[in-house]
């Protein structure tokens, strides 16, 4: 079986109950009113519970014990906490039940990007599945516990840790462990929950801004919109648009980013919550608030170094001048002590990942992971002799309007009005100002900062997310006021803008639901049986080698997708695309190893290449398929390093390294090998 929708549904329900319950208790304990606490609960509970569970799991060695321990600590902390604290008045209306249902339905759109689609031609996958190849990390944590052993690369004698920000995948592993779901199904469930939780977070902000159910409804509706590029291409032609704007990238709206990179979206939600908690900490310094803030900051960083690391650090520094004057008289020492507690806790929890990233950075070489460079906006022909200088204003005047129509212009105006109201000294007014600062930092970081670690500017693409969430909520509030106006012109323009941006969202949603048929679709339908054969001969700790370019046409860029989704075993080298983020290798080393693997599976490998696979890279099991050049020119067939243990005619062959096959401790295969020699 390739994918069970029933298992994914069960995992999503378990996550909803587990994280929302913990989040609601925490939200009430730190002073959020009932009307705000419930819609805030999913995102808050996910971040705090997983950040705490991950640290406990490092010591316990069993992820599920970490979850249980985190629940006990949260419940005990809230019970011991002094609840006789006078909460500030909150006139925010309660969120209607139908709003939760609407968010649950909309959240299906990004979740569908993960699921396979059965067609007459075979299995279709959505383009976004490319970024979900990290599912192998979920399987690794379920199989081996935490800290995870790197499933993408790990030759003998070298560190096998993971330097990637994997808290989101740890959360998915919790769902898999609790329900028995496989990594692929747990990823789909976690993607749905992340979409749902951030939708409810934006709805909660919109309700707090406008205090009417129409505002959160409009905010959720805005989340299904997309770029104006499809409309502009239809109006002026694709070539003319390409002569003005650079091609679309990962710098996109909530629907696109939730489909492709939900861990960055989760980190953005955590950063928004951290901002709200920072305001409450300044208004009323309390130990529990400081602890929860520290856990949220740690969770944001462990989910995304770009959003929860770079943007969060800049945002918190920018918030200090706003928060310090609002500390109650005589409360400054308590506030500074509470802030120190939050910072120390966040640093303590983040240290293991920081150490891994530091060592990986040294081994990769190169300079600083972050550089200052304006985000490219205009095509070279449009910039002319001014070059990149025009990109600076074009970001604010062109790109943000094109990519976030309505959300950016309406949200910016509405947020400015909210932050400059006369009641800015109230708690809700301070929250609006703090969120305004966060939005400015978020947009400016995308504008000027670029990540240099990989081939893509992940920092520039993801840094916009926290500000985008705040602007979406503010736009919902602003559109509510426009709808209530008696005139027809302005509301009519807003409706036209929504309709135009809805086309871009529909393109993304349709791509998620339909997928793309490739020439490998029929063959991919047989992949579960193929990987089941590999698992029969590969112990849980074995590393597998296969063609990194297998099923290359199933994704927009070639990635080892069948291994990532279905193998449930580590790879000795999962391919260049995955090695960029997960292998502590320089560009030259990564390229040399990639060329070697491609050469071997093309049937052009030498005896030295096979020796490198067996000894240097530690490949215990090898999979050769009929799609590989090595099927006809099989270098493993005559090699003394490997021998055949199972074959499917005209389909695949499974080889096992000779030392591994002769190990008496190796468990016997569950079935009799076919065609073994």
Nearest to 505 by CA among 194, 98, 106: 106
**Domain layout of the chain by residue ranges:** 5-512, 521-661
Paired with 160 in beta bridges are none
> Token pair for residue 74?
């949260």
- Residue 674's pLDDT band, with cuts at 50, 70 and 90, is very low
The C-alpha atoms of residue 103 and residue 41 are separated, in whole angstroms, by: 14
Radius of gyration of the chain (CA): 26
Main-chain dihedrals φ then ψ at residue 379, nearest 5 degrees: -65, 155
Q: Which residue has the higher pLDDT, 665 or 89?
A: 89
Please state, for a pLDDT cut of 90, what percent of the chain lies above it: 74
- Residue 435's pLDDT band, with cuts at 50, 70 and 90, is very high
Q: What is the pLDDT of residues 376-413, one digit of tens each?
A: 999 988 877 677 899 999 999 999 999 999 999 999 99
C-alpha angle 562-158-310 in degrees, rounded to nearest 5: 75
Q: Are 231 and 500 in contact (CB under 8 A)?
A: yes
> Token pair for residue 535?
């698992």
Beta carbons within 10 angstroms of residue 240's beta carbon: 12
pLDDT at position 592: 94
pLDDT at position 671: 34
> Token pair for residue 388?
């990149």
Q: What is the pLDDT of residues 440-481, one digit of tens each?
A: 999 999 999 999 887 789 999 999 999 999 999 999 999 998
Decide if pLDDT at 521 tops 90: yes
C-alpha angle 253-259-264 in degrees, rounded to nearest 5: 70
Decide if pLDDT at 665 tops 60: no
pLDDT at position 202: 98
Q: Which residue has the higher pLDDT, 330 or 533?
A: 533
Please spell the DSSP secondary structure of 483-541, one letter per residue.
HHSS-SHHHHHHHHHHHHHHHHHHHHHHHHHH-B--TTHHHHTTHHHHHHHHHHHS-TT
pLDDT at position 324: 92
| Preceding peptide of 382 cis, ω within 30° | no
Q: What is the pLDDT of residues 67-93, one digit of tens each?
A: 777 787 777 777 666 554 455 566 778
Q: What is the pLDDT of residues 332-361, one digit of tens each?
A: 999 999 999 999 999 999 999 998 888 887
Residues shown for the chain: 677
Paired with 573 in beta bridges are 153
Half-sphere exposure of 48 (CA within 13 A, CB side): 35
Decide if pLDDT at 668 tops 60: no
First to last CA, the chain: 29
The C-alpha atoms of residue 364 and residue 587 are separated, in whole angstroms, by: 7
> Token pair for residue 499?
């309709």
Burial of 380 (0-12, 13-18, 19+ CB in 10 A): exposed
- Residue 58's pLDDT band, with cuts at 50, 70 and 90, is confident
Q: What is the pLDDT of residues 156-182, one digit of tens each?
A: 877 788 989 999 999 999 999 999 999
Decide if pLDDT at 507 tops 50: yes
> Token pair for residue 251?
């710098």
């Amino acid at each position: 079986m390739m994918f069970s929708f029933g298992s994914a549904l069960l995992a999503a329900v378990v996550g909803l109950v587990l994280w929302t319950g913990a989040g609601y208790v925490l939200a009430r304990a730190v002073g959020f009113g009932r009307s705000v606490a419930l819609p805030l609960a999913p995102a808050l509970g996910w971040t705090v519970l997983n950040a705490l569970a991950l640290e406990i799991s490092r010591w316990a060695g069993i992820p599920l014990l970490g979850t249980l321990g985190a629940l006990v600590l949260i419940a005990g902390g809230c019970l011991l906490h002094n609840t006789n604290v006078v909460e500030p008045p909150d006139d925010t209306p309660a969120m209607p039940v139908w709003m939760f249902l609407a968010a649950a339905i909309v959240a299906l759109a990004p979740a569908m990007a993960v699921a396979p689609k059965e067609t007459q031609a075979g299995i279709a996958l959505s383009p976004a599945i490319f970024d979900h190849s990290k599912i192998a990390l979920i399987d690794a944590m379920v199989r081996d516990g935490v800290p995870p052993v790197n499933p993408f690369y790990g030759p003998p004698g070298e560190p096998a840790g993971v330097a990637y920000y994997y808290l989101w995948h740890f959360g998915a592993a919790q769902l898999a462990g609790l329900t028995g779901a496989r990594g692929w199904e747990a990823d789909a469930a976690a993607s749905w929950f992340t979409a749902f939780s951030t939708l409810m977070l934006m709805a909660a902000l919109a309700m707090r801004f406008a205090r009417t159910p129409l505002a959160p409804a409009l905010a959720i509706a805005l989340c299904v919109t997309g770029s104006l590029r499809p409309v502009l291409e239809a109006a002026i032609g694709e070539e003319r648009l390409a002569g003005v704007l650079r091609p679309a990238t990962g710098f996109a709206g909530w629907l696109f980013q939730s489909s492709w990179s939900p861990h960055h979206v989760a980190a953005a939600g955590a950063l928004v919550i951290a901002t709200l908690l920072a305001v409450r900490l300044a208004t009323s310094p309390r130990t529990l608030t400081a602890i929860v803030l520290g856990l949220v900051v740690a969770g944001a960083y462990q989910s995304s170094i770009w959003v929860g690391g770079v943007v969060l650090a800049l945002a918190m520094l920018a918030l200090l001048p706003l928060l310090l004057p609002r500390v109650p008289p005589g409360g400054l020492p308590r506030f500074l002590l509470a802030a120190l507690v939050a910072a120390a806790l966040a640093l303590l929890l983040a240290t293991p990942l920081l150490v891994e990233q530091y060592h990986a950075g040294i081994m990769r070489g190169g300079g600083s992971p972050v550089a200052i460079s304006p985000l490219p906006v205009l095509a070279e022909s449009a910039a002319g002799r001014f070059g990149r200088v025009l990109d600076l204003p074009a970001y604010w005047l062109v790109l943000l309007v094109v990519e976030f129509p309505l959300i950016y212009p309406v949200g910016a105006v509405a947020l400015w009005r909210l932050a400059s109201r006369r009641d800015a000294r109230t708690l809700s007014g301070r929250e609006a100002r703090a969120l305004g600062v966060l939005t400015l930092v978020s947009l400016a970081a995308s504008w000027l900062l670029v990540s240099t670690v990989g081939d893509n500017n992940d920092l520039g693409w993801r840094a916009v997310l926290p500000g985008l969430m705040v602007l979406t909520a503010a736009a919902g509030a602003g559109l509510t006021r426009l709808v209530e106006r008696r005139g027809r012109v302005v509301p009519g323009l807003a409706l036209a803008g929504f309709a135009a941006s809805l086309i871009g969202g529909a393109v993304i949603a349709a791509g998620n639901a339909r997928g793309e048929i490739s020439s490998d679709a029929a063959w991919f339908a047989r992949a579960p049986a193929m990987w089941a054969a590999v698992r029969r001969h590969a112990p849980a700790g074995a590393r597998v080698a296969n063609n990194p370019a297998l099923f290359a046409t199933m994704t927009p860029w070639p990635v080892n997708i069948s291994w990532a989704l279905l193998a449930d075993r580590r790879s000795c080298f999962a391919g260049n695309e995955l090695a960029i983020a997960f292998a502590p290798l320089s560009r030259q080393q990564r390229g040399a190893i990639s060329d070697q693997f491609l050469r071997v599976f093309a049937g052009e490998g030498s005896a030295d290449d096979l020796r490198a696979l067996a000894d240097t890279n530690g490949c215990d099991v090898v999979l050769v398929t009929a799609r590989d050049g090595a099927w006809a020119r099989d270098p493993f067939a005559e090699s003394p390093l490997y021998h055949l243990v199972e074959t499917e005619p005209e389909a695949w062959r499974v080889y096992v390294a000779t030392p591994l096959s002769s190990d008496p401790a190796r468990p016997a295969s569950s079935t009799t090998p076919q065609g073994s020699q």
